[in-house]
Structure 1
Amino acid sequence: MESLTLLEKLVGFDTTSRNSNLELIQFVRNYLTGFGIESRLVEDATGTKANLYATIGPTDRGGVMLAGHTDVVPVDGQDWHSEPFKLDIRDERAYGRGSADMKGFIASVLATVPKLAAVKLHTPVHLAFTYDEEIGCIGVRRLLDVLGGLPVLPAMGIVGEPTLMRVVAAHKGKAAFRVTVRGHEGHSSNPPAGVNAVEYAAELIAYIRSLARERKQNGPFDPLYEVPYTTLHVGTVRGGTALNIIPAECVFDFEIRHLPEDPPDGLIAAIRDYAAKELAPQMQSVAGETGIEFTERSTYPGLCTPPDAAVVRFVQGLLGDNNPPGKIAFGTEGGLFAERCGIPTVVCGPGNIAQAHQPDEWLALNQLLACDTMLDKLVQQLAR
């Protein structure tokens, strides 16, 4: 399979989010140039990372956008049984970082390019490859700024995150924050003279936990999600220097993964109010310099494409699948394409999200073949 050859090349680029993705992007750009296809780069502020956008076919009408992120998560500390950035084929699986999430889809798209270039398309195909999705859907936002200024936008989008080649029309959104609790240091033999940042952080964490329990008990609910309600989660806590010192600082991170119809604004406001009205006055009654600060780490909207939308029916037709579209808990760039540019979007790609981010990440070869088949049908649909 040509897609497998291309996947081997793509996995060989270490595009962990902390690294540049320009080597991969330049490879893709040169590959497209070989078929007479021009592409546009949208770089980050440092010039060390870039999105790529290209159109194949007529430029005066909407068409279908095929979108995917080029970055991958780290392999640090993971127990791999093969080289993470060297594709290893065994047991009808392709092992390598990014094979499932989501270079398999990009490889399949690139393998379809020669067919797209060889036919006369009546409807264009747009390619959108981004950076830094894994750390908060960052790169795509710069691309969206450019797309918003184009005279013609894609009429629909397919984000190729791993869904086992099933059509997904909705996913949860996410809001992530870092909270810094500034206390007042002192000797632990006299706790009232200090402000214990760890203990006040614990009170705020307990409040966040109470909001999580309330959502679990009272909803709103959507039974089509595996976890059918909005969730809140505290992932890291760091604070204190020694047992006999009242901690002067504690930092923790929390996230909200919310149903598209349950925006997180009210929860965020409640958490901020509890910190400002309940905890901060107690802290500042002892030491005026104390307080609690919130820093937004990342946010992206949920996706909620109607199940009878044209893009849903179109992709179902490519797959020969009449089942209702699914819903997933993990996020994608699809919500941003829909919200910022009004591009109706679904998620559909090869592989299983259960393998994503794991040691020995793998993509089943039959999944890659299924994606190739879907894109071949796309070519047939859009050609004269």
Structure 2
Amino acid sequence: MTKVPSLVQMMSQLIGSPSISCSQASWDQSNKGVIQLLESWLSSMGFECKVLPLPNQPEKFNLIATIGKGNGGLVLSGHTDTVPYDEGRWESDPFKLTERDQKLYGLGACDMKGFFAIVIDTLRDMDLSNLAEPLIILATADEESSMAGARALSQQAKWNARYALIGEPTSLTPIHAHKGIMMDKIRVTGQAGHSSNPNLGRSAMDAMHEVMTELMSFRNELKQTYRDASFVIDYPTLNLGCIHGGDNPNRICGKCEIEFDMRALPGMSNDALFNAVKQRLPTIAERTNTEIELSSLFPDVPSFSTPKESDIIKACEELTNNDAETVAFATEGPFLNTLGMETLVLGPGSIDQAHQPNEFLALDQLDPMQKVIKGLVERFCTQRQ
């Protein structure tokens, strides 16, 4: 039987197993090594483990580990992948756990391999032999890119679990809602030609100027129309992220592309936002004699909201002494809610450290997170709801 290592040793092994997910194929990696580690440790603790390859991605896997029988119970969920890293900007090897200044450094330390180590270390000291309701550990693939792991799970029949916690880094603050996100691209196709005579071509860049003006106007309309005071940025946002076009100063620009994101408040429809942008483009195309195409870069993530009156929200507020809040970044929360669970986001470490060189998890976050996990398991798994 596999011996479960110490918490720090688990973190070291998880971080030492690279599992980058990225839209760029040169960065993208399998998460198989991380899944195998989690499966071996949880199996040795009596969990029944299912490893599920993602549809059309045979090297990407979800893990569902269950202990206890029946309906209800609790899901503790996290993603097994990390973002890419900035080579040369780390003070230590991103794939080697390094402790200094009361912090544990490594790629995925807080976002979010450290969460799994904390969960397993907490559970091994608890009696899980006779749970009243099941406990499920969920480990997903590709959250940092396409969220394909959570999407695959959401296509299944509803689970019997009643509550779910996603251990994303929130500085131990319960999160009950976040904005949705969609990333889109607009391509303008004109006609290249010699710049000495504008009549020889149709400038895609000139047309893109009008597109950008329309997008900024729409952004202002969103800000004026929709508000939610529970968010720090209390309106939906539209960010013009990057633009590419043309190839030389003395040529009329034949093609231009802009990529942007929109983040909708809970209650708003991503599809409605997409269509609202799409409806504004034909008039510009006709006026500029260009072709204008709107497309999605990635499948969108819906906004997420769980009522603050939910039992798991109230339980986590009590266990952390922190009121539930909202965030702007996206998680797998809406997909777990789709599966019929009341979900919140709460984990150790700060989102400010995530996706940064020298990512770390402070040691003073470990014990408080273990207290939360223990309290939730006792409340939702050892007692009949």
Residue equivalent to 1:40:
50
The answer as to whether partners of 1:307 and 1:325 remain within 8 angstroms in 2 is yes
Please list, as runs of the form range in 1=range in 2, the aligned pairs for 1:59-70 lying within 5 A after superposition. 60-70=70-80
Q: Report the Cα distance in structure 1 between the residues aligned to 2:218 and 2:57, rounded to whole angstroms.
A: 39
Residue equivalent to 2:192:
185
The answer as to whether partners of 2:170 and 2:345 remain within 8 angstroms in 1 is yes
Higher-helix-fraction structure: 1
Shift of 1:8: 1.5
Secondary structure class of the residue paired with 1:337: helix
Q: Report the Cα distance in structure 2 between the residues aligned to 1:61 and 1:295, rounded to whole angstroms.
A: 38
Residue equivalent to 1:10:
14
The answer to whether the aligner puts 1:101 opposite 2:101 as a matched pair is no
The answer as to whether partners of 2:270 and 2:302 remain within 8 angstroms in 1 is no
The answer to whether the aligner puts 1:333 opposite 2:340 as a matched pair is no
Residue equivalent to 1:26:
36
Secondary structure class of the residue paired with 2:63: strand
Q: Report the Cα distance in structure 2 between the residues aligned to 1:242 and 1:77, rounded to whole angstroms.
A: 32
Q: Would the alpha carbon gap of residues 219 and 94 (structure 1) be closer, same or farther in structure 2, given more than 3 Å must change?
A: farther
Give the TM-score of the pair, scaled to structure 2.
0.91
Residue equivalent to 2:61:
50
Shift of 1:298: 2.8
- The worse-fitting range, judged by mean Cα deviation, of 136-145 and 359-368 is 136-145
Shift of 1:320: 5.0
Give the letter aligned to residue 228 of structure 1: D
Shift of 1:377: 2.4
Q: Would the alpha carbon gap of residues 77 and 234 (structure 1) be closer, same or farther in structure 2, given more than 3 Å must change?
A: farther
Give the letter aligned to residue 372 of structure 2: M
- The worse-fitting range, judged by mean Cα deviation, of 298-307 and 347-356 is 298-307
Shift of 1:379: 3.8
- The worse-fitting range, judged by mean Cα deviation, of 122-131 and 178-187 is 178-187
- Segments of 5+ residues of structure 1 without an aligned counterpart are none
**Count of residues in Structure 1 that have an aligned counterpart in Structure 2:** 371
Question: Which of these residues, 346, 369, 374, is aligned with residue 367 of structure 2?
Answer: 369
The answer as to whether partners of 2:184 and 2:294 remain within 8 angstroms in 1 is no
Residue equivalent to 1:271:
277
Q: Report the Cα distance in structure 1 between the residues aligned to 2:175 and 2:57, rounded to whole angstroms.
A: 34
Task: Describe the superposition over 1:290-338 as per-residue Cα deviations: whole angstroms up to 9, x where unpaired.
Answer: 3324234231111111111122123234x152x4311111110001211
The answer as to whether partners of 1:62 and 1:123 remain within 8 angstroms in 2 is yes
Shift of 1:257: 0.7
Percent identical residues:
34
Residue equivalent to 1:292:
293
Q: Would the alpha carbon gap of residues 142 and 119 (structure 1) be closer, same or farther in structure 2, given more than 3 Å must change?
A: same
Give the letter aligned to residue 241 of structure 1: D
Question: Which of these residues, 121, 127, 146, is aligned with residue 137 of structure 2?
Answer: 127
The answer to whether the aligner puts 1:227 opposite 2:233 as a matched pair is yes
Question: Which of these residues, 246, 254, 261, is aligned with residue 255 of structure 1?
Answer: 261
Q: Report the Cα distance in structure 2 between the residues aligned to 1:83 and 1:267, rounded to whole angstroms.
A: 42
The answer as to whether partners of 1:73 and 1:134 remain within 8 angstroms in 2 is yes
Task: Describe the superposition over 1:162-207 as per-residue Cα deviations: whole angstroms up to 9, x where unpaired.
Answer: 1111111111111111222222111111223312122222321222
Residue equivalent to 1:92:
102
Q: Report the Cα distance in structure 2 between the residues aligned to 1:262 and 1:123, rounded to whole angstroms.
A: 35
Q: CA RMSD in A?
A: 1.9
Shift of 1:110: 2.0
Give the TM-score of the pair, scaled to structure 1.
0.91
Q: Would the alpha carbon gap of residues 191 and 64 (structure 1) be closer, same or farther in structure 2, given more than 3 Å must change?
A: same
Q: Report the Cα distance in structure 1 between the residues aligned to 2:323 and 2:57, rounded to whole angstroms.
A: 43
